[in-house]
């Protein structure tokens, strides 16, 4: 068998397999149908062409040539059908396809008559040209060229992923049509080389590449798996043949050599390595054709993780801009959460919506590379926009919760403020009411002068503390040695502990540096230590411990005082709530807010008669 015949027959087999495969994955899809029919016609044409080179009977050769012509008659019909389906040409514009079908039917009537083909030329068994065959060749080339023109027009008007699809089909069409047309050269005595046996396999390769790489048809997953198994099988077949040849060449001279046993041994070894080899081939194919999709899956996963901690719209917009610019290499990205006029210079606009509710727009400029946005890009952006919509909904719910809690806190503050100020005001009112009657009483005047300023100072102090509480603490973050900070707090309160008979027990671990406001944190722990000391008026034990738990630093301040009643625990961090006779009830509330601003938490546990523990958790956030 000649190389020319072998290549033509292999092309026939590949076309037939492609036809069956494409049709089986989209029987109702016009694009699948047309490509399957076009591939089937090519398979029959190349099969008949290959067989005519192998047979020697004059009658068999003529039948083969007639079959070639019959299959070739359907090629332009199905090619135009494929192009029209690809570029989505409307029904009223398909008269060219109807005319092509009519002419194909007329030529088909002449196919098995001597008017079309009567003689052939050795050695490749090409038919001799007739008037009808010349008209057929002219119609064939004109039909293909018309399809190419329609494809070029669609290519010029398209962009993005669609442009890439059209471009690859245009390249494949050029290769297939003009390469296949060279098979007409010997028929019309044109002294130029015939390259159809090279061009047609290349055409098949470009079509398969377009399907796999640019999702020409919705069968990417099947192609991936099929390619993996096909390549693995081909590799192992080559290995099998090589090993068998080596065994026959080098071991045949041995007296105990058994070819059947060698074959069984080789096949068993190949069976063991098939699945690992297939997996490696699959990874290689994914990296070659689907690397972008794998990167996108990682992007979506990381993006979802980041979204879980975003509670502000500005942070969300910044995160999205950073991700899209870094992954897609876009010149600029805008995130609009309100009414948006037409964006100048925008290459792509993706709505941010979920459950039918529109939250805004993702507006993207051109890519740095100048490439169009592919189908994978649009899939990624659509997924990110849905996740953004969910995140925005969560942020809205969180803000509503914060507002409701803030309103509740304002009400608590107002009630506490009224209660705290009411007592000194009552004293001032009572003394002022009896002042006219006691102007001549020196003792009353002395008491008045002593008490009134004191009550006014008390009111002023309450208001000052309230103003401090109302302001959000401004954090000046620095690198803080947590252990040193706790040691300093204990040193500040050492004299008070000795005076109260409080024994200090410390268990401070060496902890990593953190970014925090040292003055604010010191205020938190001074408040907690003072509360613990004051909870033990008859003395006791103050224990201060620190440790590292995962990504959090934990500090625990415990006392052996009387504890907090269970019905009071849930109010302990509310403003103006206190269990002390002279407390303002703002110390723990302030400490709680400072810890929250640092991204941490402050919890309390207490057992009446045994003691109380306050636990501070702060995230480890280093400068690096």
CB atoms within 10 A of CB 43: 21
SS (H, E, C) 411-469: HHHHHHHHHHHHHHHHHHHHHHHCCHHHCCCHHHHHHHHHHHHHHHHHHHHHHHHHHHH
* CB 497 within 8 Å of CB 533: yes
Whether residue 97 is contained in a domain is answered as yes
CA 22 to centroid of chain Cα atoms = 29
Task: Please tell me the predicted confidence (pLDDT) of residue 308.
Answer: 63
Last residue of a domain, one of 188, 218, 248: 218
The reply to whether 424 and 373 lie within a common domain is no
Whether residue 207 is contained in a domain is answered as yes
The reply to whether 358 and 443 lie within a common domain is no
Task: Please tell me the predicted confidence (pLDDT) of residue 94.
Answer: 67
The reply to whether 457 and 489 lie within a common domain is no
The reply to whether 241 and 199 lie within a common domain is no
User: Domain range holding 498?
Assistant: 478-619
Whether residue 128 is contained in a domain is answered as yes
* CB 553 within 8 Å of CB 483: no
Last residue of a domain, one of 218, 253, 280: 218
The reply to whether 284 and 163 lie within a common domain is no
Whole-model pTM? 0.43
Whether residue 162 is contained in a domain is answered as yes
**pLDDT one-digit tens code per residue, 458-507:** 777 667 666 655 555 567 788 888 888 899 888 888 888 888 899 999 99
Whether residue 282 is contained in a domain is answered as yes
Q: What is the CATH number of the domain that holds 362?
A: 3.30.450.40
The reply to whether 49 and 154 lie within a common domain is yes
The reply to whether 188 and 54 lie within a common domain is yes
Task: Please tell me the predicted confidence (pLDDT) of residue 133.
Answer: 83
The reply to whether 256 and 325 lie within a common domain is no
Domains in the chain, number: 5
Q: What is the CATH number of the domain that holds 558?
A: 3.30.565.10
523-554 burial, b at 16+ Cβ within 10 Å, e below that, comes to bbbbbbbebbbbbbeeebebbbbbeeeeeebb
Whether residue 624 is contained in a domain is answered as no
Last residue of a domain, one of 347, 376, 396: 396
Residue numbers in the chain where pLDDT is lower than 70: 1-4, 89-94, 120-126, 159-161, 197-198, 201, 204, 208-301, 305, 307-309, 338-343, 398, 401-420, 422-424, 426-427, 461-462, 464-474, 575-577, 580-586, 621-624
Tokens 């102090």 -> residue: 461
The reply to whether 373 and 455 lie within a common domain is no
The reply to whether 317 and 196 lie within a common domain is no
Q: What is the CATH number of the domain that holds 425?
A: 1.10.287
The reply to whether 210 and 71 lie within a common domain is yes
Whether residue 118 is contained in a domain is answered as yes
Q: What is the CATH number of the domain that holds 107?
A: 1.20.1070.10
Distance CA 133, CA 110 (A): 10
Task: Please tell me the predicted confidence (pLDDT) of residue 360.
Answer: 85
* CB 74 within 8 Å of CB 41: yes
**pLDDT one-digit tens code per residue, 166-217:** 877 888 888 888 888 888 887 777 777 777 766 776 776 777 666 655 555 5
- Residues paired with residue 363 on neighbouring β-strands, in sequence order: 334, 349
Antiparallel, parallel or unpaired: β 552-559 and 611-619? antiparallel
The reply to whether 309 and 276 lie within a common domain is no
Whether residue 60 is contained in a domain is answered as yes
């Amino acid at each position: 068998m000649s190389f020319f015949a072998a290549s033509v027959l292999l092309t026939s087999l590949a076309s037939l397999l492609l036809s069956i495969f494409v049709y089986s994955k989209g029987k109702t899809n016009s694009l699948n149908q047309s490509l399957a029919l076009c591939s089937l016609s090519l398979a029959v044409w190349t099969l008949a062409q290959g067989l005519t080179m192998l047979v020697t009977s004059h009658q068999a050769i003529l039948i083969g040539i007639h079959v070639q012509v019959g299959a070739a008659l359907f090629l332009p019909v199905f090619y135009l059908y494929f192009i029209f389906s690809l570029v989505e040409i409307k029904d009223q514009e398909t008269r060219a396809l109807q005319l092509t079908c009519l002419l194909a039917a007329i030529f088909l009537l002449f196919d098995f008559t001597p008017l079309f083909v009567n003689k052939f030329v050795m050695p490749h068994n090409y038919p001799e040209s007739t008037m009808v065959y010349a008209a057929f060749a002219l119609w064939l080339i004109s039909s293909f060229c018309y399809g190419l023109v329609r494809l070029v027009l669609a290519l010029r008007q398209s962009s993005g992923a669609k442009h890439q699809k059209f471009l690859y089909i245009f390249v494949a069409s050029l290769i297939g049509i003009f390469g296949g047309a060279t098979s007409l050269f010997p028929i019309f005595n044109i002294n130029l080389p015939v390259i159809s046996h090279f061009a047609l396999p290349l055409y098949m390769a470009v079509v398969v590449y377009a399907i796999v790489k640019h999702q020409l048809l919705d069968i990417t997953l099947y192609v991936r798996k099929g390619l993996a198994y096909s390549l693995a099988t081909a590799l192992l077949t080559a290995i099998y043949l090589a090993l068998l040849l080596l065994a026959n060449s080098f071991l045949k001279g041995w007296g105990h050599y058994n070819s059947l046993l060698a074959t069984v041994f080789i096949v068993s070894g190949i069976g063991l390595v098939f699945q690992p080899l297939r997996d490696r081939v699959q990874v290689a194919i994914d990296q070659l054709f689907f690397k972008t999709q794998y990167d996108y899956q990682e992007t979506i996963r990381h993006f979802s993780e980041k979204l879980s901690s975003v509670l502000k719209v500005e942070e969300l917009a910044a995160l999205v801009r950073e991700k899209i610019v870094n992954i897609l290499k876009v010149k600029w990205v805008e995130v609009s959460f309100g009414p948006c006029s037409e964006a100048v210079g925008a290459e792509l606009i993706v709505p941010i919506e979920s459950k039918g509710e529109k939250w805004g727009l993702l507006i993207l400029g051109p890519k740095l590379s100048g490439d169009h946005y592919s189908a994978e890009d649009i899939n990624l952006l659509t997924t990110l926009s849905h996740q953004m919509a969910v995140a925005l909904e969560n942020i809205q719910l969180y803000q509503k919760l914060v507002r409701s809690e803030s309103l509740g806190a304002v009400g608590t503050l107002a009630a506490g403020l009224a209660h705290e100020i009411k007592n000194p005001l009552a004293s001032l009112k009572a003394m002022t009411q009896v002042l006219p009657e006691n102007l001549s009483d020196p003792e009353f005047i002395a008491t008045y002068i002593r008490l009134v300023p004191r009550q006014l100072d008390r009111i002023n102090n309450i208001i000052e503390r309230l103003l401090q509480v109302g302001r959000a603490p401004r954090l000046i973050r620095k690198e803080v040695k947590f252990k040193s900070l706790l040691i300093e707090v204990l040193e500040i309160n050492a004299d008070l502990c000795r005076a109260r008979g409080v024994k200090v027990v410390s268990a401070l671990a060496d902890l990593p540096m953190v970014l925090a406001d040292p003055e604010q944190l010191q205020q938190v722990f001074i408040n907690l230590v003072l509360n613990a000391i004051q909870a033990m008026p008859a003395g006791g034990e103050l224990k201060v411990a620190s440790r590292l738990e995962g990504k959090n630093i934990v500090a625990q301040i415990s006392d052996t005082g009387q504890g907090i009643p269970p019905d009071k625990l849930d109010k302990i961090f509310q403003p103006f709530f206190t269990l002390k006779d002279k407390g303002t009830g703002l110390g723990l509330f302030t400490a709680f807010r400072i810890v929250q601003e640092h991204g941490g938490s402050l919890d309390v546990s207490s057992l009446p008669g045994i003691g109380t523990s306050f636990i501070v958790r702060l995230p480890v956030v280093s400068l690096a």
